[in-house]
Structure 1
Amino acid sequence: MKNIMLKIEGMQIGMDGEENTIELVTEGKLYEKGNTLYLVYEESEISGMAGCTTTVKISKDKISMKRFGTAKSEIVFEKGKRYNSNYHTPYGTFDMEVLTKDMTYTITDEYKGDIRIEYFLNLQGMAETTNELRIKIM
């Protein structure tokens, strides 16, 4: 397991055109198992997910994100595919649908790199957003 620094940037545009951006720089861990790379980090107040641990699993054509703690969710990103799951929060459980528009990543042998995911998110019909997630492994 390798200690790493991550820069995580999230941009969200709501149906009303309102744009929200967050940026988080945090320590994390990276490890490899077979042909899959894992990034593990703690969320913070900035992301609104304090008390959660996030694991990003990177394989050939798929990236998944699992959160455990005060909120629990799993999102699978696969270009052009729709994924349905539940988002568990202290306020209840919500149906979540994700459609991945685009996804690219490059990671070097020294475990430095960039991940970029563009996706649409529908949270039980209450919120529909267009999102971009960028993770830089430093």
Structure 2
Amino acid sequence: MKETKVIRVIGKQKNVDGEQSEIELTTEGVLYEKNNHIYIVYEETELSGMEGTTTTLKIESNKRVSINRFGTTKNQLIFEEGESYKTVYNTMYGNFPMEVFTNYLSVNLDEQNKGVIEIRYDLNVADSMEPLINKLKIELM
């Protein structure tokens, strides 16, 4: 059964020079369960810089979460604490190889699927020497 949820996404990114940026998005999305996984689907906005993109979070367990984006931006990010995954970030400006290393992952949802998902990860874009340090907090209300 699909249910509508209010989703609040807070993304923070810091580079090696300490420069930090933050994006916060509150939107409506759809949550459903399939094959013992929880899926959360929402549309990105101009605020995130990915307008025209649909984002799907897949909660496979308390230890593995993936984000799939389709539309003007296309990529897949896999988060599993202590693990590194390579992917390609496809945009209208070109394709960029990326590597994601998950430092911390917490999935804390109640029986009504309300709660918080927190992910801390390092992101290397196009084999850069210095990673971008990221914090992602997703609140389901």
Aligned to 2:137: 134
Instruction: Give the whole-Å Cα distance in 1 for the aligned partners of 2:60 and 2:82.
Output: 16
Task: Give CA deviations for 1:91-110 in whole Å, capped at 9, x if unaligned.
Answer: 11110100000000111111
Secondary structure of the residue that 2:27 maps to in structure 1? strand
Matches within 5 A, 1:67-82: 67-82=69-84
Q: How many aligned residue pairs are there?
A: 138
Which residue identity lines up with residue 118 of structure 2 in the other structure?
R
- Measure how far apart 1:35 and its partner are: 1.7
Which residue identity lines up with residue 30 of structure 2 in the other structure?
K
Q: Could you tell me the TM-score, scaled by structure 2's length?
A: 0.95
Q: Could you tell me the TM-score, scaled by structure 1's length?
A: 0.97
Instruction: Give the whole-Å Cα distance in 2 for the aligned partners of 1:132 and 1:101.
Output: 10
Range moving further from structure 2, 26-35 or 127-136: 127-136
Instruction: Give the whole-Å Cα distance in 1 for the aligned partners of 2:54 and 2:91.
Output: 14
- Measure how far apart 1:16 and its partner are: 1.4
- Measure how far apart 1:8 and its partner are: 0.3
Task: Determine if the alignment matches structure 1 residue 123 to structure 2 residue 125.
Answer: yes
| Unaligned 5+ runs, structure 2 | none
Instruction: Give the whole-Å Cα distance in 1 for the aligned partners of 2:69 and 2:60.
Output: 18
- Measure how far apart 1:125 and its partner are: 3.1
Instruction: Give the whole-Å Cα distance in 2 for the aligned partners of 1:96 and 1:20.
Output: 19
Which residue identity lines up with residue 49 of structure 2 in the other structure?
G
Q: Say what the alpha-carbon RMSD is for the aligned residues.
A: 1.0
Runs of 4+ in 1 over 3 A off after TM superposition: none
- Measure how far apart 1:59 and its partner are: 1.2
| Fraction of identical pairs, as percent | 44
Task: Give CA deviations for 1:25-46 in whole Å, capped at 9, x if unaligned.
Answer: 0000000012200000000011
Aligned to 1:94: 96
